[in-house]
Structure 1
Amino acid sequence: MENLLIKLIRLHLLLVVTAVSAQLSVKRLNDPAIVAQHKRMVFESWGDWRPYPKYFLGVQTNFAYATVWGMWAPKINRDYKDGDDIRPLKPTGVQNQRFAQLKYEEEEAKKIKAASDTIYKRSVQDFAHWTSATVDADPLWLLYYKRMLKPITEFPNTPQNFMEWRLKDQQTYETLNSIGTLKRLQEELDMIKEKYSMSRSMDMPRGKRFLMYHETLLRWRKFAQELRKHNNKTTLLLDYKNILKNHSPYALPTAWSPASDRQVVQNIMLKYKNRY
């Protein structure tokens, strides 16, 4: 037991002596050439090409200089010494340019994030108008399109007479119906009402819904204008037809009826009895 204790003490002393000797054997080096290279690698100064050359009778005698910067040095070393200032942290250095580029990209990233947040918020706002359940509460619908598209809902789906078609009279209705104009107008009316129904009942983005509103409004205005044009044109045509019919040489007086000879003589006598 005592021998084991003695061995442990000796081992401990040996470790302490080894550590102390190792600390004493470490020597801090201060190589000026390495320090100069460190300065060139950052921002402090460009130059100080250590080791310096030494000359004896005009001949360079420093072997260290000759192997690092001189005639025996690698070509890359000589090009580095004779080349441009490439300190990365100088005012126009590559690293500073990277820092500036990084700062610029950070600012751009902030702008993109702000734009993305704006788009997201806008999307959240538009989502409330995506469903058809909330179309009646939309401000633009209440302020404009509800009033402008109201005539479409008030117009009958399948008009059956001149009053429902909003024509002047029955004769105009019969004329337009006979030439097939009302059939074509009915097809256009069906398309307008179908588009209006789709814009009110389908789920879609708010912008697309109002585009459909506007397209429906334009088609309705064109339909109403065409209906008025046919109404006026047909009425004018019928008026001309009646005028020509009344002035025809083969047309009979409206109040004329056949009479006997006796009635003819009596009418003549009554007409001229006060003149003679």
Structure 2
Amino acid sequence: MEQLFKKGKFFLLLFVITNVFGQSVKRLNDPSIVAQHKRMVFESWGDWRPYPKYFLGIQTNFAYATVWGMWAPNINRDYKEGNDIRPLKPTGEQNLRFTQLKYEEEEAKKIKATSDTIYKRSVQDFAHWTSATVDADPLWLLYYKHMLKPITEFPDTPQSFMEWRLKDQQTYETLNTTGTLKRMQEELDLIKEKYSMSRNMDMPRGKRFIMYHETLIRWRKFVQELRGYNNRTTLLLDYKNILKNHLSTALPSGWTPASDKQIVQNVMQQYQHKY
């Protein structure tokens, strides 16, 4: 009995497997579903299956009445009577999304190109802004390094006529007595400070070279003025020495200047018999 029961279970399982895998799969082709697919893509807006059927003016198609007709939900009737909402039509939402996505991709490429350009320009500008790279600038190496070198070689606080590049000690004392050297020292401090700022501060390359140029112009005026004072003081001292030597040889020894009274008496005696 037990063996018979096992054989029955085996034949039952074999029958089920034969029915499941032995039958061919049939393709479902529902016209209403096909029409829905056409509406949801680009093909056409319409073909409202199932179609209505009338008998003596009475709707006899129950499927139509429940899907699109009087018994259909309001949302179905609004959908049928509403606007064309195909997402893949030329102006559909999906095509608009694709178009917008393409536009955003192009804009992203432009933004990336712009950001890359800005980044590269920022790196280049930083190389010109920072004071760490001023010694490598070609214009500095070719021109301003040589032209501004005398400023660094000139002492910060000159204390002798040699440091001031003057002719002699007497010229130095004359300019120091008149206060000229004090004013020249203030001008020298301003020139050296401007030079130091142009070399050590972070600034645009163009502004840095403007400061170089202004410093160079101011330094040339300083040197020219110092040379002029040097020449005028030397000339004044030469005239003074010439005049001193001339007066010492032209006047007799022991000569003393006459008083005002004596001068008047001499003039009266000279012209008393002429008039």
Normalising by the smaller structure, the TM-score range is: 0.5 to 0.7
Q: What is the CA deviation profile of residues 63-109 of structure 1, one whole-angstrom value per residue up to 9, with x for unaligned ones?
A: 33233223333332222222221111111211112112222222233
- Counterpart of 1:90 in structure 2 is 89
Residues 145 and 213 of structure 1 are in contact (CA less than 8 Å); yes or no, is this contact kept in structure 2?
no
Q: Which moved more, 1:85-94 or 1:149-158?
A: 149-158
Take 2:121 and 2:166, find their aligned partners in 1: how far apart are those partners?
47
Q: What is the CA deviation profile of residues 156-214 of structure 1, one whole-angstrom value per residue up to 9, with x for unaligned ones?
A: 33334567557896445653447x52343243134224325525xxxx7xxx4736733
Following superposition, the deviation at residue 46 of structure 1 comes to: 0.9
- Counterpart of 2:40 in structure 1 is 41
- Assess, with a 3 A threshold, how the Cα gap between structure 1 residues 95 and 72 changes in structure 2: closer, same or farther: same
Residues 155 and 163 of structure 2 are in contact (CA less than 8 Å); yes or no, is this contact kept in structure 1?
yes
- Counterpart of 2:255 in structure 1 is 259
AA matched with 2:85: I
Q: Of the candidates 205, 213, 229, which is equivalent to residue 210 of structure 1? A: 205
Q: Map 1:1-276 to 2 at 5 A.
A: 3=3, 6=7, 9-10=10-11, 13-20=14-21, 23=23, 27-118=26-117, 132=132, 136-160=135-159, 170=172, 171-172=174-175, 174-177=177-180, 180-196=182-198, 198=200, 208=203, 210=205, 213-214=208-209, 216-221=211-216, 223-224=218-219, 227=222, 255=247, 257=251, 259=255
Take 2:51 and 2:161, find their aligned partners in 1: how far apart are those partners?
113
Percent identity reads 56
Structure 2 unaligned blocks of 5 or more: 258-275
Following superposition, the deviation at residue 6 of structure 1 comes to: 5.0
Following superposition, the deviation at residue 59 of structure 1 comes to: 3.9
Take 1:229 and 1:74, find their aligned partners in 2: how far apart are those partners?
103
TM-score, with length taken from structure 1: 0.61
Describe the SS at the equivalent of 2:145. Answer: helix
Take 2:205 and 2:80, find their aligned partners in 1: how far apart are those partners?
71
Take 2:166 and 2:67, find their aligned partners in 1: how far apart are those partners?
107
**Count of residue pairs brought into register by the alignment:** 238
Q: What is the CA deviation profile of residues 22-78 of structure 1, one whole-angstrom value per residue up to 9, with x for unaligned ones?
A: x45x65432212211111111111111122222333344433323322333333222
Take 2:111 and 2:39, find their aligned partners in 1: how far apart are those partners?
38
Describe the SS at the equivalent of 1:35. Answer: helix
- Assess, with a 3 A threshold, how the Cα gap between structure 1 residues 55 and 146 changes in structure 2: closer, same or farther: farther
Following superposition, the deviation at residue 18 of structure 1 comes to: 3.9
AA matched with 2:191: L
- Assess, with a 3 A threshold, how the Cα gap between structure 1 residues 14 and 187 changes in structure 2: closer, same or farther: same
Describe the SS at the equivalent of 2:52. Answer: coil
TM-score, with length taken from structure 2: 0.62
Structure 1 unaligned blocks of 5 or more: 247-251, 262-276
Take 2:34 and 2:114, find their aligned partners in 1: how far apart are those partners?
49
Take 1:144 and 1:99, find their aligned partners in 2: how far apart are those partners?
59
Following superposition, the deviation at residue 217 of structure 1 comes to: 1.3
What root-mean-square deviation, in Å, do the aligned CA atoms of Structure 1 and Structure 2 show?
4.6
Take 1:172 and 1:52, find their aligned partners in 2: how far apart are those partners?
119
- Assess, with a 3 A threshold, how the Cα gap between structure 1 residues 69 and 161 changes in structure 2: closer, same or farther: farther
Take 1:108 and 1:184, find their aligned partners in 2: how far apart are those partners?
59
- Counterpart of 1:266 in structure 2 is none
Take 1:153 and 1:114, find their aligned partners in 2: how far apart are those partners?
45
AA matched with 1:49: W
AA matched with 1:111: K
Q: What is the CA deviation profile of residues 120-165 of structure 1, one whole-angstrom value per residue up to 9, with x for unaligned ones?
A: 6667778888794x65444343244434543433433333456755
AA matched with 2:41: V
- Assess, with a 3 A threshold, how the Cα gap between structure 1 residues 76 and 164 changes in structure 2: closer, same or farther: farther
Describe the SS at the equivalent of 1:48. Answer: coil
